Amino acid sequence: MGKQLLLGNEAIGLGLIRSGCRMVTAYPGTPSSEILSSVIRYKTHAPEVVYAEWSANEKVAFETALAASWSGLRAATAMKQVGLNVAADPFFSSAYTGVVGGFVVISCDDPGPHSSQTEQDSRLLAHAAKVPVLDPSTPVEALQMTGFAFELSERFQIPVLLRPTTRLCHSRQSFNSDAVLFPATAGPQARGFHKDPQRWAATPAFRLKLHVELVQKLEAIEQEFETSELNRIQGSFGENGSAPVGVIASGVAFHTALQVLRDFGANIPVLKLGTPYPLPRRLVADFIRRCERVIVLEEPDATIELQIPDRTRVRGRLDGTVPQAGELTPERAAAILAEALDEAGFPVPAPADERLTALVQGMAVPPRRPRLCPGCSHRSAYFAIKRTFGPQAIYPGDIGCYTLGTNLRAMDTCLDMGGSVTMAAGFYHAGRLLGDERPIVATIGDSTFLHAGIVPLANAVHNDARFILVILDNHTTAMTGTQPTLASAVGTDGAAALPASIPDLVRACGVRFVREADPYDQDPFQELLKEAHSFTRAPEGGAAVIIADRPCAIFDPTPIDAHPIPVTVTEECDGCRYCVEAFECPAIVLRPDGSRVDIDLKTCVECGQCIDACYKGFIVPQVELQHA
């Protein structure tokens, strides 16, 4: 294959395949999604020996892959950081039971956050679960560490967390794929699941024994990390063997620090830690002893810093030297290092031109927020919901592209996967206590419903919560790159699969009002919403579910292409901005002088949905105008 550019997530996928990993499971979530996608691509060379699965959720993914490990196979599961919360139950428990075949958990953190609800640090969760962590700093290092993670996991019979961050997952690095970074191994000889109830089905008495074993494993792993090649010192101490300032860094922050120090021309020692937990405390203490002051640069939280026993000379997140929230950008790293170096008497170059920065900021360039794509069926559904129930109704929402429904003011809450259904029920019961009779209209995507919405719906119906749930069924997991869902007729590999039926699942939860409708049919859809509302208010009624059935315009544009409706804006348009704000299609563009809107033909997909968005009738089909 020679030299090529490798995306961080592809590097991890390649590392899994090269390590002889036999099962990889995942639930998609930015920034982790391309890991399994690349496994599916790479495994085409050996389809019969590697099982890959887009699972219903992270807990399902975790447990499925763990069973492969308990059968003696190398296995891995990939998710984003909040996905590890969903899988936290088996994550903690599997640290006690241990594993047989190497078992690697990949949890991608999102400092920023760029595409997540939280900036949580998976390494801290691993610390709580007592699972060792490897923290790669580049795509190529992630590939290498994947191989090492399996080897470590097998030697100590313990799950290992590989923890990349967004900037690594979504960076492409040049890489010579012919280079042998670690020997391709198939892991130990797998013998299938071997019964051992005192381990695999341990009761609390045996769990204590397993906990003692786990603690011993971690002590041995810490010893090994003291001399691991994954930890090294870059830069140098002074002639007397000490330095006024030193840096401890891990992950992407390590290269950010190196870049800044190189730009500054400052040669100071940097301890690069690839093993943040368990922390090799002797190595770290020795390093700190040789520095007058040490800055800890890590993301997104203070995992390394918290484990340093004596922090007298240490500066980091805990004392506020490093901001406690937000990404550790090169600008932030530069400001932190400049201050420390300046205090230590190093010359520090001036930062970027302040006048240019001030001039540009003074221009007040408006931020460009993300919007639903042209032709998006969610926009039509939200437009109908908003037109039917107005600003007073309570709109619990969920996680996906359709979270952008907040722009259309048809989503009031977005907590976590499946939270729309549970919170709709909670708002209903709370409203009863308060005498608050506002309608409650919750929205959830198809993939999110199948991930975490089914049990909440059964719970809501069983407890007679009254609300409307609109399942925005666009036939795919759109936000993360159109992965199949459980309701898809194709499986992970693209082969035929048995689809779960969303309407049947909804009925099985006890819902008696279940309708499927195309949100593109604006008027009937609004009528259906009113009918559903009546059902929630009728004494013999209950929760009502409408399945808004329309494929994602990116995933499957064929229904739009089969009936294109090119539109135009008439001369009468007065620039009232209603369509711009209430419909917010990227193809409807307000003129800079605000006089009127135009259709941007570059982005318009000719779905015709905006005709309903101008209540004055100024957006019309092109044919109509020609005939007029």
* Interacting residue ranges for another protein, rule: CB under 8 A: 3-5, 30-31, 114-115, 137-138, 167-168, 170-174, 252, 255-256, 258-260, 262-263, 329-331, 334, 351-353, 355-357, 359-360, 363, 365-373, 401, 404, 479-480, 586, 602-603
> CB of 110: closest distance to another protein in angstroms?
9
CB 99 within 8 A of CB 131: no
> CB of 58: closest distance to another protein in angstroms?
17
> CB of 627: closest distance to another protein in angstroms?
28
> CB of 2: closest distance to another protein in angstroms?
10
Nearest to 127 by CA among 214, 2, 49: 214
**Dist. CA 192–CA 574, nearest whole Å:** 72
- The strand order across the sheet containing 243-249 reads 232-234, 270-272, 243-249, 291-297, 314-315
For residue 102, what is the enclosing H or E element?
none
What would the two tokens of residue 146 be?
């994947």
> CB of 298: closest distance to another protein in angstroms?
16
Q: What is the largest CA-CA distance in the chain?
A: 89
Indicate the residue among 510 and 557 with the shorter CB distance to another protein.
557
**Dist. CA 508–CA 291, nearest whole Å:** 65
> CB of 114: closest distance to another protein in angstroms?
6
Residue at token pair 């679960």: 129
What would the two tokens of residue 113 be?
């956050």
**Dist. CA 433–CA 427, nearest whole Å:** 10
**Dist. CA 485–CA 492, nearest whole Å:** 9
CB 31 within 8 A of CB 169: yes
Indicate the residue among 160 and 582 with the shorter CB distance to another protein.
582
Indicate the residue among 84 and 543 with the shorter CB distance to another protein.
84
Nearest to 168 by CA among 143, 133, 132, 131: 143
What would the two tokens of residue 333 be?
């790293």
Indicate the residue among 190 and 589 with the shorter CB distance to another protein.
589
Render 441-498 in DSSP notation, one character per residue: EEEEEHHHHHHHTHHHHHHHHHTT---EEEEEE-SSBTTTT-B--TT-SB-TTSSB-P
> CB of 318: closest distance to another protein in angstroms?
24
Indicate the residue among 304 and 479 with the shorter CB distance to another protein.
479
Indicate the residue among 365 and 498 with the shorter CB distance to another protein.
365
Indicate the residue among 252 and 306 with the shorter CB distance to another protein.
252
- The SS3 assignment for 413 reads strand
What would the two tokens of residue 18 be?
């090269």
> CB of 174: closest distance to another protein in angstroms?
4
> CB of 558: closest distance to another protein in angstroms?
20
**Dist. CA 19–CA 17, nearest whole Å:** 5
Nearest to 408 by CA among 435, 428, 380, 432: 380
**Dist. CA 609–CA 247, nearest whole Å:** 56
For residue 87, what is the enclosing H or E element?
none
> CB of 334: closest distance to another protein in angstroms?
6
Indicate the residue among 327 and 612 with the shorter CB distance to another protein.
327
Indicate the residue among 435 and 592 with the shorter CB distance to another protein.
592
> CB of 147: closest distance to another protein in angstroms?
19
Measured distance between the N- and C-terminal CA atoms of the chain, rounded to whole angstroms = 61
DSSP code, position 373:
P
Indicate the residue among 497 and 589 with the shorter CB distance to another protein.
589
Indicate the residue among 426 and 557 with the shorter CB distance to another protein.
557
